[in-house]
Chains A and B, each alone.
Chain A
Amino acid sequence: MTDLKRNLIGLSLIVFSIGSIYLLNDEGPTRIFINLMAFAGIYAISAIGLNIHFGWTGLINFGHAAFMGVGAYTTILLIPHAAGREGSINEEGLPLFLAILIGLVASAIFGLIIGLPAIRLRGDYLAIVTIASSEIFRLVVRDQEDLTGGVYGVISFSDVFQDIRPKFLEDLSLRLDVSVGQLWVATFSWIMVILLVFLLKRLQNSPWGRALRAVREDEDAVRALGKNAVWLKLQSFMLGASIAGLSGILLAFNYGTLQVEMFVPLLTFYIWAIMILGGVGSISGPIFGSILFWAFISETDQLASLIFENADGQQIAGVRFMLVGVLIIALMILRPSGIMGKKEELLLDVK
């Protein structure tokens, strides 16, 4: 299949699913659309990071949520915020972009710390270590109330981010009748997605990207040819982790609050679902996958309430995830390499 055909299929799926939002919702479809785009952009960034781990390097990372969490907590705690049971206010803080930068570095270092002992492990063993590390991170954050606000979380940190929002968004939000805060998060996230695509296009067609793929294919052969497979894997781990960190930071700004329960393993598996839907190993895959995933989450809500008229919210939520499961199964049967993946590089037939 050619790239053109793949792109056409992806685009038409997206047009169809976004069109459905406008068809299914009578009230405020644009608000739902902007909400969807904010989440889709943020999750796409995270899936791009995971794709570097799994799609490029073959590392099975089930602790992605923790990388997002480390970035989010580091950055948010460095800017003015309120945290903990009493909501004690901290008005001092670093400039936003410096804090974001430190957050990204912190995620990368966290990746390195997990990676150093774990990365020599292969396949499934790395998966176990990463999922355990991610739970350790979550429980430590929950426990260290003085530092992280614990179960009470962190609030009132969005101002510095909203202060840098361009003026024209305010007019736009009034005209579209959407929340200007979320419009800015969505816009910012998609700018980041575009920047990342440029970065990744460059890296994928570089000697470094080629070396990562070689590690994915056969580590022993890589070592036999004189290349340090462990260091390549660590670099991949750090880059993906810091991209996940960026996604975590934006997720916090999108919610307007930072709760440790945002970073449960379920988040990791959403990101995996997005990456697999979109096509493992491809650059645009996670982006298409993310929009589709969120459109589907949003529409199954409507569909479920159409099908089951008397169902309450909780029941609908249950049906919704059954439908998401059906979507993934259907896609895996019809297009096992995902929407944007190449059949030749299909990664799920793990030997």
Chain B
Amino acid sequence: MSNNILEIKNLRKSFGGLKAVDITSLNFERNKIISLIGPNGAGKTTFFDLITGFTKQDSGTTTFDGKNISNLESFKISRLGMVRTFQLTKVFDRMTVNENILFSASSLKNDRFINSLFKSSIKSKIEQELNERKNEVLNMVNLYHMKDSYARELSGGQKKLLELARVIIQKPKILLLDEPLAGVNPKLSEDILSLINTFVKEGISILMVEHNISAVMKVSDHIVVLAEGSVIAEGSSDEIRANEKVVSAYLGKSNE
């Protein structure tokens, strides 16, 4: 098994005349926190959309955990163990916190129409087991007291936590987080970062897009800098700090 969880070759996408993403080669190591930074419009979210199958790529190969996943449908990619979150939190507003997580945890077999008709109700044995796992996860993100509330009643930060709980219950191999700290207060940012650290310890690789540079510098094992759709630099936080191209493209004149 290769040490890279994700290998990207010649990934290209343009919208009309605009070259959104043009990456010749990019590899992500297993079991690390890797951050993707770059100015607005650098193609970070498009990059996420491309590798998770939400947008069709023009060309290129993406290999995830030894499998070629280019042009695979998004839900199939997710089932292989590459799960993403969104820049704007997408919780199921008019479902309870419980239902949000149970839906994610439930297996495809359990979800089947025929199964639901004859065997599994929310009182079935499978659902009881899911329920236990769900409670563990809810305790981990500190949302247990909200379990019966509708998701739309949660605060912005709590929605972020719910989204994290919802993906982590699937025990993915790699987690793609799109701005997990956007609009979150400093205290909660700390909590989310420590959660991310826990995930890595459990063997989950993390790839995140984030604008909070000090947080990125603190937690990342590896940083990739995108500008105008291409990789302009990658390396450890010290290397990135010292890189002049990055400083001028993104960080501005001040270094911190």
Binding site for B on A (CB under 8 A): 199, 202-203, 205-211, 213-214, 216-218, 220-229, 235, 239, 344-345, 347
Q: Are A213 and B111 in contact (CB under 8 A)?
A: no
- Please name all residues of chain A whose beta carbon is closer than 8 Å to the beta carbon of B52 when the two chains form the complex: 224
Taking a contact as CB atoms closer than 8 A, the residue among A199, A205, A223 that contacts B75 in the complex is A223
Top 5 nearest A-B pairs (CB, nearest first) are A206-B116, A208-B116, A226-B78, A217-B92, A221-B90
Taking a contact as CB atoms closer than 8 A, the residue among A206, A209, A225, A228 that contacts B166 in the complex is A225
Q: Are B116 and A209 in contact (CB under 8 A)?
A: yes
Query: Given A207-B120, A220-B86, A226-B170, is A213 in contact with B75 using a C-beta cutoff of 8 Å?
Result: no
Distance between B246 CB and nearest chain A CB, rounded to angstroms: 30
Q: Are B116 and A203 in contact (CB under 8 A)?
A: yes
Residue of A nearest to B108 (CB): A227
Q: Are A210 and B106 in contact (CB under 8 A)?
A: yes
- 4 extra A-B contacts, CB within 8 A, seeds A213-B95, A217-B95, A226-B76: A207-B120, A213-B99, A214-B95, A224-B54
List 30 A–B pairs whose Cβ atoms lie within 8 Å, in order of A's numbering: A202-B117, A206-B120, A207-B116, A207-B122, A207-B127, A208-B111, A208-B116, A210-B99, A210-B102, A213-B95, A213-B99, A214-B92, A214-B95, A217-B93, A217-B94, A220-B54, A220-B86, A221-B92, A224-B75, A225-B78, A225-B104, A225-B170, A226-B75, A226-B76, A226-B78, A226-B108, A227-B103, A227-B111, A344-B150, A344-B152
B115 an interface residue at 8 Å Cβ cutoff? yes
Query: Given A207-B116, A217-B94, is A229 in contact with B75 using a C-beta cutoff of 8 Å?
Result: yes
Taking a contact as CB atoms closer than 8 A, the residue among B83, B95, B100, B127 that contacts A224 in the complex is B83
Interface size class of B (residues with CB under 8 A): 35 or more
Query: How far is it, in angstroms, between the C-alpha of A220 and the C-alpha of B78 when the chains are bound?
Result: 12
Q: Are A206 and B74 in contact (CB under 8 A)?
A: no
Q: Are B92 and A213 in contact (CB under 8 A)?
A: yes
Binding site for A on B (CB under 8 A): 52, 54, 73-76, 78-79, 83-86, 90-95, 99-100, 102-104, 106, 108, 110-113, 115-117, 120-122, 127, 150, 152, 166-167, 170
Query: How far is it, in angstroms, between the C-alpha of A232 and the C-alpha of B118 when the chains are bound?
Result: 18
Taking a contact as CB atoms closer than 8 A, the residue among A208, A210, A223 that contacts B54 in the complex is A223
Query: How far is it, in angstroms, between the C-alpha of A214 and the C-alpha of B152 when the chains are bound?
Result: 13
- Please name all residues of chain B whose beta carbon is closer than 8 Å to the beta carbon of A223 when the two chains form the complex: 54, 73-75, 78
- Please name all residues of chain A whose beta carbon is closer than 8 Å to the beta carbon of B92 when the two chains form the complex: 213-214, 217-218, 221
Residue of B54, B78, B113, B170 with highest tally of chain A CB at under 10 A: B113
